[in-house]
Amino acid sequence: MSVSDFELFQSWRKVLDLCALRPGQAVTVLTSADTNEQTLRCAILAVRDKGAIANRLDLQPVNGGTSLSRDPLAYVGTTPLTGNRPALEMLKASDLVLDLMTLLFSAEQHEILAAGGRILLAVEPPEVLVRLTPTLEDRARVLAASATLRAARGMRVTSAAGTDATFALGDYPMLEEYGFVDRPGRWDHWPSGFLATWSNEGSAEGTIVLAPGDILLPQKAYVTAPVTLRLERGYVRAIEGGYEAGHLKDYMDSFGDPEVYAVSHIGWGLQKKAHWSVMGFYDREASIGMDSRACAGNFLWSTGPNNEAGGTRDTACHIDIPMRGCTVTLDGEAVVVDGVLVED
């Protein structure tokens, strides 16, 4: 069921409060052809309600003739800001950017953040935004888990399906997603609620077995039969299984770049309001699947770029793989057991 403008406006007000938006500050709402009109309308009303200046920057879409999917995360790195200096300077001059377009994995996003800007991505359907409106408790949960992950030097992931993989840690920063941007230079995604980092280059080793019910993104598909991925020296070296294994390999091979097989971020979901089943109720073009990424207790790992963490790998293919039923340990201490969060 859809939500009313009033409900979405109230959620935007809460989020802007959490972002500490002040009267007189300049907010640029970044939009493109696929921006949800209700999300845009309510965002601008909430910005004005806070006494801030609301600007809209609408840019033409790119990559449509190259990507194999309409999902905004199916082909990353090149965005409508690439080579568009006037638009970039406008965003750098803004106190807050509300990204209703999807600017992820781009050099321009890094430049905006390095200049002290703040960027909040919000592209899920309005009813998902309302249901997963962030709170201070979300931030506290993510930051507490981040302190534990930051201190660890090794992660091991196992499952009854046959997963047994290890990752060395410590060379890369934390990806702390709790749904709002409360300091200069911060990027976040509403909705979210998960924690990740990047394994040390060349350290990912072992076997990951996707069990029925695990999810592939941006395909937005639940796996129906086991898919086995062999990790060696930081890369996926083999993908074994039936149709879905072949489909995944064919998609990744279509980019013509061996770096698509590199292991990217690794972490786990912390959002108790997110639900694994939600993706199945949406058309594939309506959502990017944040419920499954953030669902509490999932093991979320990915392949492809690491440039958002300061690395040099900027390949256009990024696969996110949320998995259920895994046990995640940090230096031998469990943070997730059989898909359930370990909580103090």
Q: Which residue type, as a one-letter code, is found at position 170?
A: G
Element (H, E) at 114: helix 107-114
CA 83 to chain centre: 24
Whose structure tokens read 């020296």?
233
pLDDT digits (tens, 9 = 90+) for 16-51: 999 999 999 999 999 999 999 999 999 999 999 999
pLDDT digits (tens, 9 = 90+) for 163-194: 999 999 999 999 999 999 999 999 999 999 99
Sheet bearing 119-121, strands edge to edge: 53-58, 26-31, 96-99, 119-121, 187-189
Q: Where are the domains of the chain?
A: 5-131, 136-341
β 96-99/119-121 pair status? parallel
Entry pTM: 0.95
**Exposed, middle or buried by CB within 10 Å (0-12, 13-18, 19+), for 216?**
buried
Query: What does the mean pLDDT of the chain come to?
Result: 95
DSSP string covering 32-101: -TT--HHHHHHHHHHHHHTT-EEEEEE----STTT-SSSSTTSS-S--TTTT-HHHHHHHHT-SEEEESS
The CATH number of domain 5-131 is 3.40.50.2300: yes
Contact 88, 112 (CB under 8 A): yes
Q: Residue-wise pLDDT tens for the chain (344 aa)?
A: 799 999 999 999 999 999 999 999 999 999 999 999 999 999 999 999 999 999 999 998 877 777 777 777 777 777 889 899 999 999 999 999 999 999 887 889 999 999 999 999 999 999 999 999 999 999 999 999 999 999 999 999 999 999 999 999 999 999 999 999 999 999 999 999 999 999 999 999 999 999 999 999 999 999 999 999 999 999 999 999 999 999 999 999 999 999 999 999 999 999 999 999 999 999 888 899 999 999 999 999 999 999 888 888 889 999 999 999 999 999 999 999 999 999 86
- Four-residue CA torsion sign, 32, 37, 42, 44: positive
β partners of residue 295: 271
pLDDT digits (tens, 9 = 90+) for 128-140: 999 999 999 999 9
